[in-house]
A = this chain, B = another copy of it.
Amino acid sequence: MAIEIERKFLVIGDAWKQGAGEFISQGYLSRDPCRTVRVRVKGAEAWLTIKGQSVGASRAEFEYAIPLADAEQLLTLCEGPLVEKIRRIVPHAGMDWEVDEFLGDNAGLVVAEIELESAEQHFEPPPWLGQEVTEDVRYFNSQLAMWPFVTW
């Protein structure tokens, strides 16, 4: 188990949009915020990830690599539509930001996440960083599956 400490922000403009990024398709076997179970496929790799309840920016996380063929079957078991997005790693001031450009019913939504050592860790905000949404449940990917951005 790891404790994931992550802050999440909206993104402004398109200066972050460099490189092709990687296509991610993911679905949820449980969208319960106390015990989320995610199936993720990125290229030829796949993972099963369980996350506990968020406490501020922190959350217990358990991640297991699984065979791609299993993941493709598991995605068909998931509740609700899949969440599809293009992820780019955007370096800024010595830190790597994960910028997710959502597709499908979540098109138009772009969020940036940074993984921290502690919730209080200082970081330099890139010029394209917008409002923080770390604790806004609507932006949880598990919620975007059932209540996509297009419906907001």
- Map CB proximity to B onto A53-74 as digits: 1 under 8 Å, 0 otherwise: 0000000101010100110011
In the bound complex, do residue A77 and residue B64 qualify as a contact, i.e. CB atoms below 8 Å apart? no
Q: Number of contacting residues on A, CB 8 A?
A: 21
Selecting from A30-38, A87-95, A121-129, A132-140, the interface stretch reads A30-38
In the bound complex, do residue B35 and residue A32 qualify as a contact, i.e. CB atoms below 8 Å apart? no
- In whole angstroms, what is the CA distance A74 to B1 when docked? 9
A30, A64, A70, A74, most chain B CB atoms within 10 A: A30
A1, A69, A79, most chain B CB atoms within 10 A: A1
Q: Is A78 an interface residue (CB 8 A)?
A: yes
Residue contacts A-B, CB under 8 angstroms, 18 given: A1-B69, A1-B70, A29-B29, A29-B32, A29-B35, A30-B30, A30-B32, A30-B35, A32-B79, A34-B77, A34-B79, A35-B78, A50-B74, A52-B77, A60-B73, A60-B77, A62-B66, A64-B64
- In whole angstroms, what is the CA distance A29 to B77 when docked? 15
- In whole angstroms, what is the CA distance A53 to B52 when docked? 24
Partner of A74, one of B32, B62, B78: B62
- In whole angstroms, what is the CA distance A69 to B2 when docked? 12
Partner of A29, one of B30, B64, B79: B30
In the bound complex, do residue B48 and residue A77 qualify as a contact, i.e. CB atoms below 8 Å apart? no
Give the residues in chain B near A69, CB-CB below 8 Å: 1
